[in-house]
Amino acid sequence: MTAETLTEHAQSVAVPGWLAALCRFFAGLGGATLLAMMLMTVTSVILRAATGKPIPGDFELVEVGSAIAIFCFLPWCQVNGGNVLVDFFTQKTGPRVNHILEAIGDLLYLLIAALLLWRLCHGAAEMRQYGEQTMVLRLPIWISFTVILPAMTLLVATCAATFLGHIRGARA
Amino acid sequence: QEVTLRVHHFLSAEAPMHKDVLAPWEKLIEEKSGGRIDVQLFPSMQLGGKPPQLFDQARDGVVDISWTLLGYTPGRFPISEVFELPFLSGSATQTTAALQQYQAKYMGDELKDVHPLLIHAPAAYKVHTKDKPVAAQADLGGLKIRTPSRMMTDGLAALGANPIGMPVPEIAQALTTGVIDGAVIPWEVFGSLRIESVTKDHAEFGAENGGLSTSVMALVMNQAKYDALPDDLKKVIDENTGAALADMAGKAFDAAEAAERQKAIDAGGKITVIPEVDLAEWQGATQPVVDAWVKSMTDAGHDGQAMLDDARAMLAAAKGK
Amino acid sequence: MTGIAAGLMGFAALLALMAIRIPIGVAMLSVGIGGYALFTGAMPLLAFLKTSTYYQFSTYSLSVIPLFVLMGEFATKAGMSRALFRTAAAFLGHRKGGLAMASIGGCAAFGAICGSSLATAATMGQVALPEMRRYNYSGALSTGSLAAGGTLGILIPPSVILVLYALMAEQSIAKMFVAAMIPGVLAAIGYMIAVAIYVRYRPEEGPAGPRVAWPERIAALRETWSIILIFALVIVGMYRGWFTPTEGAAVGAFGAGVLAILHGGMRLTGLMACLRGTAQTSGMIFLIMLGAEMFNAFLAQTQTPMLAAQAIQNMGLSPMLVLGAILLLYLALGCVMDSMSMLLLTIPIFYPIIAGLDFGMSREDTLIWFGILAVVVVEVGLITPPVGMNVFVINGMAKDVPMLESFRGVLPFLISDMVRIVILVAFPVITLWLVHLLS
Ligand code: NA
Ligand code: NA
């Protein structure tokens, strides 16, 4: 499935190489987390069937892992213009107008991502302060934020980069 | 209306808590305030978020009032966890009555960020199993049992079971599919899970023996919202919460407990009551969990032993009534 | 401002933002956050956002989605589409339009391991399109059958959309999957009948290929056993008692991954490509889900869904009329909108309405039946003009076929869809029979 066949996506724009590489790294990190989650779950299922003793806390590990993975996926999806949009009403408006419209979309996403990052910092601090933990393994929940907050920061940077890219695209 | 109170919780509108406690309370408050307070109930997390967020939603004013289980944020309310300890609970009415005193004496600090309307508990939890009846402690050995709380995770492990943590909505499917062999829940939850055809064996510990465990539930209001009420409306809230509401909640939960228990018996369920003489063995096995709680409280600067003794005494007094 | 007015304005703003190329998830988040702040206040909003993103992404039951997406990525890498198409072509290729029928059969089988419609259309297209063109199939028939066949990916379990519906309407994922099986098989058969009728009138568009001897057919069949095994393991295991849907998805993804290594020759670079593909698709899905959560939280504050449900119940319309109106609305929305966002946006509003109507069956049966109908109708939107994602994907692969030609080719399948929808509405038993049989 190549990107150019999907019309319901943003037009592609260039972003700085280091940023693209970071997004790629975080996508890989999230993917590795998902893979680990998959292997842990399969092992737990097999252990449960064979010995009646699944991996302790397998459910909560899936919850923590899935949060880490998905936060890591967001910048990669954005840098590739992978977030679906409706292009039916803007098929004839031309690339320049569409770049401007997509720049508006990226600006909105930038503001929202920055807002979420700001709020998540507070949420993580409270979870740490209150000592919230998982039920079986008693893992402190705030630890997963050591990955989640950098991923959200990267999302903010990526939105800024694609926003500037669309502005440049509209000028060209 | 002068004031709108939005009440948020995670149960469905069919649950006893919604139907038999919150809905009558809505009517009561609206009536007693002469229509000046409008209570709006939002079941099923309609206002957004997940159950662990409910307490903070009321604290932060995202909603005006929320109802939740304090154990949904494990580690956050350790003082209230005394009633999660093994064999320290009774019927809903009894534990709820004990909780009123325990709350007043010990829980002020944990609940200082909100205005508590009701701290209560469901009836004591039972062990419901799928294929293997539990008649003695040894029967639990190696069984995969869904744990309801942080304390019971250790409690079940001490009893020889494999505690499995999972969200309540997963229980029904996990039981049918053998992901778990059983669950520690009160009968009342059968109303929404409909698992009486899956779990046929039920071990009860008898309320008078101190049922296996329970959870502490809380209906809490945003402090600023409460403070901003005119005095006469504050009075309406005060007079229809706390002990007054505790009585209603306790009765509703016990009634639901009895009704669901009867339904399960009608569906062919077999109930084993663990005899009192055997309970010493169970309690001995789980004593380390109780000791660990006392120690963690003492380490945190409280008098853990006094809190435990008080909780026991308050429960005993409630049972004596 | 009254709640209803705020809710309607929110909807209008959402549609306006979506019309001007704002990504759907971002549009929902913008209106949801803005509406929430205006209607409820900024402080509650800021408090709500402290942990809501975290908990939305760390929900156990939602973790099934990235795992099914990963399973589809591995299935593609394993070259399963090739084996499936070859097998189907060995049995059907000698008939008129046989390769088009084989494409549909291949899509149905691939849909049994892949939860996404686009991925099904795209991967089967890579294999089947060149074959059909080689045997002089017309552009219309070859692209039309693949675009339509791709929609089977959603209907035949596992399916990401069915998972989403089950979670929103509080139904069992396993039961939704079982309920979709017969409608899914019916869809495949209906599409094949559409091909047969089509080539009857235009035989030159789908000429018969060479007949394949039985020993070769058996050999082809043998190549597909691994896929059947994985499908059986996931679906049967989920329903019969070995694991939860998330665990089933993990086992399925693991199995497909092993096949990708053994049959598809997947190495580290291939694995990383699969993971990044999963990242892109899952990121897209979860951004929309986050947006829908925020938008729905705002709508609930305005009480719009509850008041709308009450209003419809008070109108005393016949249940079938309400159902028909909802399905027609889906068909209309499907012409311009992405299927998943459509369901995420509307199910929280429609399912209480449907659950409150009396169709002469239990609430659970009604919701399962409605879910299948909604998914079937939404899936039709993937091949209706002017925005038909599957048609775009397949047409993009067949560089020499004009878009209009592809939409013409899809027409017989659309007719088949309409017939099937009427049948499924008229006979709920088709959807519910297997669910009752197995429970
Ligand atoms: Na599928
Ligand atoms: Na369409």
| pLDDT classification of C241: cutoffs 50, 70, 90 | low
Distance, in Å, from the CA atom of B222 to the CA atom of B135, rounded to the nearest integer, reads 45
Measure in Å the smallest separation between the Cα of C205 and chain A Cα atoms: 25
Q: Which of B118, B153, B125, B147 is CA-nearest to residue B248?
A: B118
pLDDT score for C81: 80
Quick one: which ligand is closest to C108's CA? 1
- Looking at every residue in chain B, the average pLDDT score rounds to 91
Quick: pLDDT tens for C32-91. 999 999 988 999 999 999 999 999 999 887 788 888 889 888 988 887 788 888 888 888
Over 90: is that where the pLDDT of B69 sits? yes
Q: Please, are residues B192 and B263 in contact by the beta-carbon 8 Å criterion? A: no
Contact between C389 and A120 using a beta-carbon 8 Å cutoff: no
Measured between beta carbons, the chain C residues lying within 8 angstroms of A80 are 280
Quick: pLDDT tens for B270-291. 999 988 888 889 999 999 999 9
Residue with tokens 């880490």: A68
- Round the CA-based radius of gyration of chain C to a whole number and report it: 22
Least confident of B45-54, C240-249, C357-366, C429-438: C240-249
pLDDT score for C183: 94
Higher pLDDT, A91 or A37: A37
Distance, in Å, from the CA atom of B59 to the CA atom of B237, rounded to the nearest integer, reads 17
Q: Please, are residues B207 and B121 in contact by the beta-carbon 8 Å criterion? A: no
Share of chain C above pLDDT 70, in %: 97
pTM: 0.86
Q: Is B218 strand, coil or helix? A: strand
Share of chain B above pLDDT 70, in %: 98
Quick: pLDDT tens for B307-316. 999 999 999 9
Quick: pLDDT tens for A40-87. 999 999 998 888 888 999 999 999 999 999 999 999 999 998 887 777
| pLDDT classification of C122: cutoffs 50, 70, 90 | confident
| pLDDT classification of A2: cutoffs 50, 70, 90 | very low
Contacts of A13 (CB under 8 A, 6+ apart): A81, A99, A162, A165, A166, A168, A169
Quick: pLDDT tens for A106-162. 999 999 999 999 999 999 999 999 888 898 899 999 999 999 999 999 999 999 999
| pLDDT classification of C300: cutoffs 50, 70, 90 | confident
| pLDDT classification of A5: cutoffs 50, 70, 90 | very low
ipTM: 0.89
Residue with tokens 């005060």: B238
| pLDDT classification of A4: cutoffs 50, 70, 90 | very low
pLDDT score for C175: 86
Contact between A57 and B165 using a beta-carbon 8 Å cutoff: yes
Q: Which of B47, B55, B88, B92 is CA-nearest to residue B74?
A: B55
Contacts of C65 (CB under 8 A, 6+ apart): C160, C163, C164, C282, C285, C286
Q: Please, are residues B125 and B89 in contact by the beta-carbon 8 Å criterion? A: yes
CA atoms within 13 A on the CB side of C104: 26
Quick one: which ligand is closest to C337's CA? 2
Mean pLDDT over C141-169 rounds to 85
What distance lies between CA C203 and its chain's CA centroid?
31
Q: Is B57 strand, coil or helix? A: helix
Phi, psi (degrees; rounded to nearest 5) at B110: -65, -25
- C-alpha dist (Å) from residue B161 to A54, B86, B184, B286, C331: 12, 14, 11, 12, 52
Measured between beta carbons, the chain C residues lying within 8 angstroms of A78 are 283
Determine the distance separating the centroid of ligand 2 and the alpha carbon of C83, expressed in angstroms: 30
Contacts of B313 (CB under 8 A, 6+ apart): none
Distance, in Å, from the CA atom of C154 to the CA atom of C72, rounded to the nearest integer, reads 12
Distance, in Å, from the CA atom of A102 to the CA atom of A86, rounded to the nearest integer, reads 11
- CB < 8 Å from B in window 234-293 of C: 238, 240-245, 247, 293
Tokens, residue B215: 């959870």
Quick: pLDDT tens for C378-412. 888 888 876 677 887 788 777 788 878 888 999 99
Q: Please, are residues B83 and B99 in contact by the beta-carbon 8 Å criterion? A: yes
The 8-class DSSP code of residue B19 comes to I
Determine the distance separating the centroid of ligand 2 and the alpha carbon of C335, expressed in angstroms: 3
Residue with tokens 């919230």: A132
Tell me how crowded residue A53 is: count the other CB atoms within 10 A of its CB. 12
Least confident of B183-197, C236-250, C285-299: C236-250
Mean pLDDT over C319-323 rounds to 90
Domain ranges for chain C: 1-58+285-302, 63-266+305-438
pLDDT score for B211: 82
Distance, in Å, from the CA atom of B123 to the CA atom of B91, rounded to the nearest integer, reads 4
Distance, in Å, from the CA atom of C157 to the CA atom of C178, rounded to the nearest integer, reads 8
Residue C224, chain B, CB below 8 Å: the answer is no
Distance, in Å, from the CA atom of C147 to the CA atom of C381, rounded to the nearest integer, reads 11
Mean pLDDT over B88-96 rounds to 93
Measured between beta carbons, the chain C residues lying within 8 angstroms of B42 are 300
Over 50: is that where the pLDDT of A3 sits? no
Over 90: is that where the pLDDT of C357 sits? no
Tell me how crowded residue B157 is: count the other CB atoms within 10 A of its CB. 18
Q: Please, are residues C153 and C111 in contact by the beta-carbon 8 Å criterion? A: yes
